[in-house]
Amino acid sequence: MNSQNDLMLADLKKAAREQRKLDSGTKNKALLKIAEKLTLAANEIIAANSKDLEALAADTAAAFRDRLTLNPERINGMIESLRQVAALPDPVGEMIDQQTLKNGLLLKKIRAPLGVIFMIFESRPNVILEAFSLAFKSGNVILLRGGSESKQSAAAIYKLMRDALTEAGFKFMPFHGIEDYDRGLVEQLLKRKDMIDIVVPRGGDKLIDFVQRTALMPIIKNDRGMCHTFVDEDADLVMAAKIVTNAKTQRPGVCNALETVLVHEKIAAQFLPMLYKETDSKKLQWHVDSASLFILKDHERVTSAKPEDWDTEYLDLIMNCRVVSGLDEALAHIEKHGSKHSEAIITKSETKARLFQQEIDAAAVYWNVSTRFTDGFEFGLGGELGISTQKLHVRGPVGLRELTNARWLIDGSGQTRG
């Protein structure tokens, strides 16, 4: 690591000491200032983004191109999101617990920021302000490293943020956007547990695996959603078809979208054609087991699932379908193939629903609901830095509170331990 990067880390660490002391008013004003400047500079940001889009190879997948694109609507979304975060309650200093012990000690458990957060993300440039605003409001500073495909967009947004924060009177910079896209630098940064408190990788399996193998500091990982929905024999089948269709097709490119539907054998012959019809307009591709194939054999776009399909997060209009003998087989399938993200059961039986919710060890377990609801906004957290699939610190949406932790303040009058 060159001395410039050492300096950058030292600046961030120093900024973290200032940031965690800021009052809510100062933080909110700064967020609104960035929103204001973004309103004025929308065209410049879109122009920078156009350069990124022009630089893409002609055969770049449409979905990738779409994720990279900024347009007036998305800029407005970013502005709205900044305002929403400004309006959210500040978690820093929140008193979680307070008690006087028998020995007279006053014990307070209060929320404090995590410190310096290193976020590694892929090509969506709107992630920058989403992540920054949540980290900033929760008293943290953030080091951002996006995908190189969005470098012009990122540079324009970083500049706008710096300008706005300077105008808002900031003497320190509570973020740093890395514009050196050398991968070796990321590797070096992941070793700097002396300067970085937490790393948040947001991306595919390869990125997560690289970070897990390399990072010396704690990780909040946001990775794959291999989400299932089990349609029980006691399900309302009309409701089930609507829920599964929503979970799979409403926005297939996100981690809370469904990948595999598991259908009880007793209702499969009735339900699968219903579900096929419900999803037909979406031109959904079906990868199915032999029992489903037997039922759907005359239908278009239905092929036999390959073994690896049951572990594939398509992020596309492709769905796995398997007929199971009942709840136990559904549970075993999810235990084997799920990614601890979001799982659902559709049934009229509360007993089976509670058993499913108890047995499935995922961040969010649904009864008669689409898995698409696993989301910081939907859960009332006001936003999210990502959706955690690990079991330490936070499961599911990573909101403001999840970017803090509790520490202890103890007041006494000379107590010593005997």
* Residues of the shown chain interacting with a copy of itself in the complex, contacts defined by CB under 8 A: 17, 20-21, 99, 101, 105, 107, 112, 114-115, 193, 197-198, 212-213, 216, 218-220, 236, 239, 242-243, 245-247, 250-251, 335, 353, 357-359, 361-370, 372-374, 378-380, 390-396, 405-418
CA 175 to each of CA 13, 134, 163: distance values in angstroms, whole numbers, following the listed order: 10, 12, 12
CB of 107 or CB of 155, closer to a copy of itself: 107
Take residue 293 and report the two structure tokens written for it: 């194939």
CA 361 to each of CA 286, 341, 398: distance values in angstroms, whole numbers, following the listed order: 27, 9, 18
Closest approach, Cβ 409 to a copy of itself, in A, equals 5
Phi and psi for 198 in degrees, rounded to 5? -145, 140
Are 109 and 98 in contact by the 8 Å Cβ rule? The answer is yes
Helix (H) or strand (E) holding 112: strand 106-113
Q: How many CA atoms lie within 13 Å of 235's alpha carbon, on the beta-carbon side?
A: 31
Closest approach, Cβ 340 to a copy of itself, in A, equals 9
Closest approach, Cβ 231 to a copy of itself, in A, equals 13
Backbone CA torsion sign across 279, 281, 285, 290: positive
CB of 64 or CB of 379, closer to a copy of itself: 379
Alpha-carbon gap, residue 341 to 33, rounded angstroms: 35
CB of 74 or CB of 242, closer to a copy of itself: 242
Closest approach, Cβ 280 to a copy of itself, in A, equals 17
Bridging pattern class, strands 387-388 and 302-304: unpaired
CB of 59 or CB of 281, closer to a copy of itself: 281
Alpha-carbon gap, residue 374 to 396, rounded angstroms: 7
**CB neighbours of residue 147 within 10 Å:** 21
Alpha-carbon gap, residue 148 to 129, rounded angstroms: 17
Alpha-carbon gap, residue 206 to 203, rounded angstroms: 8
CB of 250 or CB of 304, closer to a copy of itself: 250
Which spans in 117-193 are helix H? Answer: 127-137, 151-167, 183-189
Closest approach, Cβ 416 to a copy of itself, in A, equals 3
The closest alpha carbon to 117, from 200, 15, 177, 189, belongs to 200
Alpha-carbon gap, residue 24 to 194, rounded angstroms: 28
CB of 43 or CB of 103, closer to a copy of itself: 103
Closest approach, Cβ 244 to a copy of itself, in A, equals 10
Closest approach, Cβ 10 to a copy of itself, in A, equals 12
CB of 50 or CB of 390, closer to a copy of itself: 390
CB of 51 or CB of 277, closer to a copy of itself: 277
Closest approach, Cβ 305 to a copy of itself, in A, equals 22
Closest approach, Cβ 69 to a copy of itself, in A, equals 22
Helix (H) or strand (E) holding 267: helix 265-279
Q: How many residues does the chain have?
A: 418
CB of 140 or CB of 153, closer to a copy of itself: 140
